[in-house]
Structure 1
Amino acid sequence: MNHATHPSGATDVVPSTHSVFGAPCWVSLTSRDTGATEAFYSAVLGWRWRSARLGDHFRVALVNGTPVAGIAAVASVWQMVVAWTPYFAVPSADDAVARVRERGGTAAVGPLSFPPGRAALLADRDGAIFGIWEGELLAGWEAWRRAAPTFVRLHTRDAFDAAIFYGEILEWASDRPGSCQVHYEGDEVVLRSRGDVVARIVSGALEAAPDPTIRPHWQVHFAVEDVAACVKAAQNNGGSVLRYDSGSLPYEAVLRDPDGAQFTVTSRLPR
């Protein structure tokens, strides 16, 4: 898959997306130099790595043995920019892609078969890139949630319009068991799955902004124990700090890896 391995990059898969859908289930990244990318994220986030069954150009990140993310060499996957991309669980990739096209979005690639599932890379009406996954995961959804991002946030032109688009694509707030709940809290749209906040949508992005970080995009937020340590490690390993908020909890920093991919680290709060 683009932006790294798809969610079934190894053999120890268990059913996951059958009981939860519409929620983020994986994050992935493309890289021009997977060795350098591994070293950077090992230093900043403490990740360990193993190969994926798609081949030597694909790698899976582990947190305490749980698969949490993937990377792949740009030359070996779909030719896309270097960026983090979230994938959302869906019951049917074909149905989700059809709904994207019907509502003015773009199906960039897929659906393609990656046994034991199927995937597609899509763009919403404002150009924000996201993926969908139908099938099984490396680890159960609950295990991934405990070890993986705190949430993903969509920076978009109009949060209300985007919530309608994604809600129709991913069947949010439906009567089907496993559906996500959508709420409006202040100026954000908040998505919850089984009570946990898994995504947020905020307005204010500009479609034609010269700076790609201001255009509509999904931002991946990783939960960490020590934001300051991540900031220092990023600076010491070829990355850069775009923003660092350390005034009050939760502490947060927006970082950029040496390849240009942007992500956020957020202090892990007691559950």
Structure 2
Amino acid sequence: MQSEMEEDVVAQQRTYPEGVTSWVDTEQPDVEAAADFYRGVMGWSYAEATPPGAPFRYLVAQLDGKDVGAVGGPASPGRGEVAGTRWNTYVAVDDADAAAARIEQAGGFVVQPPTVAGEGGRSVLVRDPQGLEIGLWEAKRRLGAQVTNAPGAWNFSDLHVEDPEAAQPFYSSVFGWEFSDVGFATMIRVPGYGDHLAATVDPDIHERQSGVGVPPGFADAIGWVAPVTPGEAPGWHVTFAVADRDATADRVAELGGTVLRTDDGDWTHTALVRDPQGAVFTASQFLG
């Protein structure tokens, strides 16, 4: 029987319905160097998620003790292969085996079959029919990112592809996603997600997102599909929220990263960034 304190902790944890993007991580050749970079840029602390002596390290990044993402790679720099340094996005699933089967039935490919990640859960790595990788996460102890949209935390993940319309049927079939063209991009929605947020961690979401100019169904939004920009590789792209875009860009450069470009929009100031080992992400300052 749970104590009252344990029940309070469980009630405060953020959960993710099936089909909602729930986690991000990056695999890097030098884990310690990557951890130092993101500590300096995002203010992260870390919790070791792998036992001593394991050939692979997985550091869960945290803000104020709450999970926001992870940095992984070989336990010793240079000892172990890293297929490509990038940020990975994971979609929550209730059953990793069933989800992997749906991926194959819909024309995708299972790169890494359901794999136990300690007591945290089970992960699957898949490719969609266009060859773009995305992860699946069946949560056990680790439910997904516990802080989002705050400075230093994951904001959202977008699918950048050559043909946005061609990508949609696969994801609709596998995850039940719905797509809405709102002019500047195509919104990805999981029906009912806004109701889930309202009942758990964000009781005011429907009122807050009912104003003029807010796209219908925005409370259910989990990301966007957009055409790739010139020189950009197709794939899932991760955005982190920051308090000050310019200060973040300066810090990136100081710590050995590269600011590829900056953009000033009506709602955000952003910087497209490449970290010292090659992973690309966007730092976004919300202006509201």
Question: CA–CA distance in 2 between the matches of 1:95 and 1:77?
Answer: 31
Secondary structure of residue in 2 paired with 1:251: strand
Structure 1 residue 135: Cα displacement = 2.1
Structure 1 residue 215: Cα displacement = 2.7
Unaligned runs of 5+ in 1: 1-11, 174-181
Question: CA–CA distance in 2 between the matches of 1:140 and 1:73?
Answer: 19
TM-score by length of 2: 0.75
In the other structure, the counterpart of 1:8 is none
Structure 1 residue 204: Cα displacement = 4.1
Structure 1 residue 86: Cα displacement = 0.4
Residues 36 and 13 (structure 1 numbering): CA distance in 2 closer, same or farther, change over 3 Å?
A: farther
Q: Tell me if structure 2 keeps the 8 A contact 1:83–1:261.
A: yes
In the other structure, the counterpart of 1:71 is 71
Q: Tell me if structure 1 keeps the 8 A contact 2:85–2:279.
A: yes
Deviation readout 1:199-254 (Å, 9 max, x if unpaired): 11113479xxxx6xx23211100011101111000101100011111364300010
Check if 1:136 corresponds to 2:160.
no
Structure 1 residue 79: Cα displacement = 4.3
Secondary structure of residue in 2 paired with 1:98: helix
Question: CA–CA distance in 1 between the matches of 2:144 and 2:278?
Answer: 30
Counterpart selection for 1:154 from 153, 159, 166: 159
Secondary structure of residue in 1 paired with 2:27: strand
Structure 1 residue 62: Cα displacement = 0.7
Identity %: 31
TM-score by length of 1: 0.80
Structure 1 residue 172: Cα displacement = 2.3
Counterpart selection for 2:226 from 189, 202, 212: 202
Deviation readout 1:25-52 (Å, 9 max, x if unpaired): 1000011111111111111111112211
Residues 77 and 128 (structure 1 numbering): CA distance in 2 closer, same or farther, change over 3 Å?
A: farther
Structure 1 residue 74: Cα displacement = 4.2
Q: Tell me if structure 2 keeps the 8 A contact 1:13–1:137.
A: no
In the other structure, the counterpart of 2:171 is 166
Which structure has more relative contact order (CA 8 Å, sep 6+)? It is 1
Counterpart selection for 1:87 from 71, 87, 90: 90
Structure 1 residue 156: Cα displacement = 0.7
Residues 149 and 132 (structure 1 numbering): CA distance in 2 closer, same or farther, change over 3 Å?
A: same
Secondary structure of residue in 2 paired with 1:37: helix
Question: CA–CA distance in 2 between the matches of 1:138 and 1:162?
Answer: 29
Instruction: Please show how residues 105-254 of structure 1 align to structure 2 within 5 Å.
Output: 105-114=108-117, 115-136=119-140, 138=142, 143-147=146-150, 148-173=153-178, 182-192=179-189, 193-194=193-194, 195=219, 197-204=221-228, 214-246=232-264, 248-254=266-272
4+ runs of 1 displaced by more than 6 Å? Answer: 12-15, 75-78
Residues 202 and 237 (structure 1 numbering): CA distance in 2 closer, same or farther, change over 3 Å?
A: same
Secondary structure of residue in 1 paired with 2:268: coil
Structure 1 residue 13: Cα displacement = 8.3
Structure 1 residue 188: Cα displacement = 2.2
Question: CA–CA distance in 2 between the matches of 1:111 and 1:77?
Answer: 21
C-alpha RMSD of the superposition: 2.6
Secondary structure of residue in 2 paired with 1:245: strand
Deviation readout 1:42-90 (Å, 9 max, x if unpaired): 1111111221145572111111221111111147887421110000001
The one-letter code of the counterpart of 1:203 is P
In the other structure, the counterpart of 1:60 is 60
Residues 13 and 262 (structure 1 numbering): CA distance in 2 closer, same or farther, change over 3 Å?
A: farther
Q: Tell me if structure 2 keeps the 8 A contact 1:66–1:139.
A: no
Unaligned runs of 5+ in 2: 1-8, 195-218
Q: Tell me if structure 2 keeps the 8 A contact 1:42–1:48.
A: yes
